[in-house]
């Protein structure tokens, strides 16, 4: 997956699935009840990271202190500084910005997994 593909994704199930798989490294599957991941003991319903700020907070906690999100007249800007780069992107909501920045960090850290 490329930077442009990540930025073009709408908030929703597909973005949430990528957070489970690539950011948290969780085994992921789809059941009739919705997206789920395995927590080592059982299948757990996935969170709505890209649409619910309380779920997105789990992503923020893993990103650490170098992450910030702020509201501007053009939308929400997610900002993170890594060892190699500084990312700032504008999205329609704070949860969406949080998720996209997290995936961009993973893309930078593990560029060989960008397919």
Please state, in angstroms and rounded to a whole number, the distance separating the CA atoms of residues 22 and 104: 10
The total domain count for the chain is 1
State the first-to-last Cα distance of the chain, in angstroms, to the nearest integer.
5
**Residue 10 sits in a domain of what CATH number?**
3.30.2120.10
Question: What is the reported pTM?
Answer: 0.80
pLDDT for 115? 44
Q: Give the dihedral sign, CA 82/96/34/59.
A: positive
* 114: confidence class by pLDDT, cuts 50, 70, 90: very low
Domain that holds residue 16: 3-113
The two structure tokens encoding residue 105: 């960090």
Give the residue carrying structure tokens 């969170």: 47
Q: Would you say 104 and 59 are in contact if contact means Cβ atoms under 8 Å apart?
A: no
Q: Give per-residue pLDDT as tens, 64-90.
A: 776 777 888 888 877 776 666 666 788
């Amino acid at each position: 997956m490329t930077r442009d593909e990540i930025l073009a994704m709408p908030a929703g199930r597909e973005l949430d699935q990528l957070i489970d798989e690539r950011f948290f490294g969780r085994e992921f599957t789809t059941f009739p009840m919705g997206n789920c991941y395995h927590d080592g003991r059982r299948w757990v319903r996935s969170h709505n990271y890209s649409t619910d700020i309380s779920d997105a907070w789990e992503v923020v906690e893993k990103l650490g202190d170098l992450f910030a999100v702020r509201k501007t007249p053009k939308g929400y800007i997610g900002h993170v500084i890594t060892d190699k780069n500084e990312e700032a992107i504008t999205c329609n909501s704070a949860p969406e910005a949080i998720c996209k920045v997290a995936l961009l960090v993973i893309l930078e850290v593990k560029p060989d997994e960008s397919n």
